Amino acid sequence: MRATNGSAKKRTRRRLLKKTKGYWGGRGNLYKKAIETYIRAMAYSFRDRKVRKREFRSLWITRISAAVREHGISYSRFIRGLTIAKVDINRKMLAEMAINDKPAFANLVEMVKGKVGAV
């Protein structure tokens, strides 16, 4: 009698098909297509976890830029002023302040304007 991987192979296939459930067409039902699709999906998800971070940073910068332009200063001068003033606050928090705490953000911009004007 020959030894086979019958039950182990079936379990492996079932696990993969469970993960690809809901994929379009044969990608969720046919084992070979499901493997290809699953591997690609995992590659995309790995890549896009990194891309998400870049996209959020870009969004924060855009929001900060729009907020500081209302006060008559450019984004680059604002960030330079924060560095000179030794204000250590990240872009996520700056963007949050620009939206939700306008008076505090305005104070920060005025302080930076004083620092940048002095240089």
User: Going by C-beta distance under 8 Å and a sequence separation of 6 or more, which residues neighbour residue 16?
Assistant: 31, 34, 35, 38
- Give the mean pLDDT per block of 10 residues along the chain (119 residues): 84 92 90 93 96 96 94 91 89 93 92 74
pLDDT of residue 16: 92
Can you give the pLDDT at residue 104?
Answer: 92
Rg from Cα positions in the chain: 26
Q: What is the DSSP string of 37-93?
A: HHHHHHHHHHHHHHHHHHHHHHHHHHHHHHHHHTTT--HHHHHHHHHHTT----HHH
Domain ranges of the chain: 10-118
* Predicted pLDDT at 117: 66
The CATH code for residues 10-118 is: 1.10.1900.20
